[in-house]
Amino acid sequence: LVLNAIKYAFPMEKAKALIQVSYETDGGDWKLTVSDNGTGKLTSEPSSAGLGTAIVEALVKQLEARIEVISDTKGTSVSVTRATFTSRVPRAA
């Protein structure tokens, strides 16, 4: 997720570019979030089916977790969550 953020979030140099990684736990529940304040991905863009996406989706399935992607012109946030964890960390964007 971090490599994808580095590769795609900032196609041009940006002042104050930020990639934030957070990992939170609550008992057996956990949430991993990688967010950036990059260009974001428009909903009109075709869905990526690259190797990185396939690896993340396979890992999510293996961990019996779920993935959530929030993306707009202020950046992208990808969260992988196990169980019913509720985040307490704000997005970087």
For 2-82, which CATH superfamily applies? Histidine kinase-like ATPase, C-terminal domain (3.30.565.10)
For 41-76, write each residue's pLDDT tens digit: 765 555 566 888 889 999 999 999 999 999 998 999
Listed by start position, the domains of the chain span 2-82
Residue 13 confidence (pLDDT): 85
According to the model, what pLDDT value does residue 90 have?
Answer: 76
What element of type H or E holds 32? Answer: strand 29-36
Which tens digit of pLDDT belongs to each residue from 6-50? 888 988 888 899 999 999 998 889 999 999 999 887 655 555 668
Mean pLDDT for all residues in the chain:
86
Residue-wise over 50-75: b if at least 16 C-beta within 10 A, else e? Answer: eeeeeebeeeeeeeebebeeebeeeb
- CA 25 to chain CA centroid, Å, is 17
